Amino acid sequence: MATTVSAASASATTNTSAPVADTPREAKARAQQVLAAAEKRGIVKKSARQGSQTSSTQKSFALSTPAPRPQIVGGSTTTISAAPYIVQLWYQDPRDPGFVLFTCAGTMIAPNKVLTAAHCVSGLDWVHKGEVAGGVSTLDADNYKWSFVKRQWVNPSYNKNTLDNDIAILTLSKALPLSVAPIAMGTDTALYKTGTNATVFGWGTTTSAPDAHTSNVLKKATLPIHSNSACNAALRDPSAGDQFIDGHMVCAGPPGTGNDSTTTSTCPGDSGGPLLVSGKVVGIVSWGIGIQDPSTGEWVKNCGVEGTYPVFTKVSTYAGVAKARTNDTDYTGDGNADVFARATKGGTARVYKGKTLGTYSSAGSGFSSWNKVLQTDLNRDGINDYIVRTTAGGLYWRHKVGTKTVNTKISSSYKTVRQIITPGDVTGDSKPDLMTVTSNGYLYVYAGKGNGTFGGAKRLSTGWLGYAQVIGHGDYNGDGRPDLLGRNGKGAVYLHAGNAKGTFTMTSRKLVSSTGFKSAKYIVTPGDVNGDGYSDIVTVNSSGYLYLYKGNGKGTFGGALRAKTGLKSYNLFG
């Protein structure tokens, strides 16, 4: 028999070797086999929710990865109170669209954001065929909180053959009243110390047999974290070579014994679920080793192979790209940040569309009284909001209520405020915040409440009058925390990196460019424009040329890419 790498979710009934790439025909055929076998062992399905968040035509079914099942061997039964942020991912039954099948687990990392594995999302149409349910301990519960999926994002660097960069985020169509779990940041190295006990949660079978039945109740297991060298030694395949990728993956758990009664491990189907240390998500269930009979192609053991460990995506490595999706803004709904532009005359506006900013759509009229516009999503409904200031000094939250656009007043006294910033979640509670620089140079943060309102002003530091402009939306240095950018009167741009305390000072900064942005008449930071997971900068010069500067997650930016011309008659951008 052969020992082979398999995705932890591999299938509802059988493992599938990760290195095998399916054609659409093969994928569909394999999906049907998965479903047939799943029925035999008691597949979990339920009626699909009625309605849809979109009127788009549904695509024909083609499952690029089989529907996964969560399984923990050697774990213990628990309740949702132990992990109130874990959710169930349900996907449409290809043979019966009136039902959905349980596929993967996920973690709420914001009220409308679910962190999961890329192999749970890649190649599937979650927007039209998926649902997310949470707040319950069992798969058959009726009192769950649920939502459709509004957007899906898979790490562009995800490799389905090696399961490298195995991370994805689903944006829900509405915020769910569930707890959220913080993710490990780039500086949280102590959480990965060898020997540290981590906890994994999931629903699924309690044996490694290919015909094992799924557990209806939530289970958990304690798994000690191992060093990279130990992971490499245990997971190296004699024929395939290194399969564990240092820095991108983490392995945990006691070594498999080959015997279910003495093994504690994740198994195919736990995919997408969280591995936690001290309440932070340090890993996403990704893959493990199974045993396959080479003569028949049948899997005879799904997990717990002697001497091996289960493998997880190392979340801290991807904190930057994860936070970019958590705090994303997207007017057009295509998954990329867009740029708002208002005409100098007439008050009409348009939105230049990410990915390239080369095309635009109308944003309507009636914007002549604004002198500031910033993008955000204050109520976490997945629909782009604006923070706008009028020439009279009124600050408003412009957002959708049903089909109507509503301007809700935040304050009447912002006329003399020098800078207004919507950086994302500075305070660490997964809710977007507001920042300002006052006329005396003080920097303040206002903690968002997730409903369009804010807490009281908290003064962070002084000395910010040295900048002509303070901007920022998202993370620029890759540590997962929102950063600020300051541009002085000579055009030099500095990076002020965020920290665990949510504070910023003038004394802690890094020069990004002394002259690179000198010619910019307008400079805006909408977020991740090109969809690579890194926040970008957009500028417009005096000739009306629109430029994109791609972020790289290292606190610097690529060279200017001319995206559009003809914006000389526009004088407000955001």
Encoded tokens for 570: 């526009």
Q: Are 517 and 491 in contact (CB under 8 A)?
A: yes
Instruction: Classify burial at 569, counting beta carbons within 10 Å of its beta carbon; exposed 0-12, middle 13-18, buried 19 or more.
Output: exposed
| Residues labelled as active-site residues | 119, 166, 271
Q: What are phi and psi of 119, to 5 degrees?
A: -70, -10
Task: For residue 392, give the 3-state DSSP assignment.
Answer: coil
CA distances from residue 440 to 413, 462, 463, 493, 505 in whole angstroms, order as listed: 15, 8, 8, 21, 15
Best CA proximity match to 86, nearest among 314, 272, 282, 216: 272
DSSP secondary-structure letter at 431?
A: S
Q: What are phi and psi of 315, to 5 degrees?
A: -65, -40
Best CA proximity match to 482, nearest among 326, 353, 281: 326
Distance from the first to the final alpha carbon of the chain: 60
Q: Are 521 and 544 in contact (CB under 8 A)?
A: no
| DSSP calls for 170-208 | EEESS--SS---PBPPTT-GGGG-TT-EEEEEEE--SS-
Best CA proximity match to 12, nearest among 269, 288, 302, 208: 269
Encoded tokens for 314: 């190392």
Helix (H) or strand (E) run with residue 562 in it: strand 561-564
State the Cα–Cα distance between residues 569 and 556, nearest whole angstrom. 30
Best CA proximity match to 208, nearest among 273, 120, 300: 300
Q: Distance between alpha carbon 313 and the CA centroid of its chain, in Å?
A: 13
